[in-house]
Amino acid sequence: MRVLATFYKELLAKAGILVDDVISEYNQYKMFAQGRAAVPMRELFMSILQSEERQEQFKSLVPLMKVYLILPISTAVCERGFSTMKRVKTD
C-alpha cells in the first residue's frame, strides 16, 4: 500500500492526504473488509463510495478507490477497437 500511495502522492496531496494517513486507514479498511470476504472488491469499493458515512470513515482511501475503479484491467477492449478500425479502413 505504501508503494501505491507513494505513486499517487500528487493526487493524494491535492486532496490534503498524507501517505502515512493512507497506511493507517488501510489497516482499518482491512478489518472492515475481513467480515465481507465474500464480496468482490469492486462491489465493496462501490458500497463505500455510495455511503457518505463510509467515505468519511475511509477518506484517505477514497481517491485510490476511485483510481482502482476507473483503470482498465486489460487493454483488450482498446485493442479490439483498433483492430476493428483497421478492418473498416482496409475494406
DSSP class of residue 79 equals H
pLDDT at residue 23, as a whole number = 93
Residue 16 region, left (φ>0) first, then alpha (ψ -120 to 50), else beta?
Answer: left
pLDDT at residue 84, as a whole number = 82
Number of domains comprising the chain: 1
Residue 39, CA distances (Å) to 1, 22, 42, 47 in order: 20, 22, 8, 10
By residue range, what is the domain housing residue 30?
2-90
Full pLDDT tens readout for the chain, 91 residues: 889 999 999 999 999 999 999 999 999 999 999 988 899 989 999 999 999 999 999 999 999 999 988 887 766 777 778 788 888 877 6
Q: What is the pTM of this model?
A: 0.73
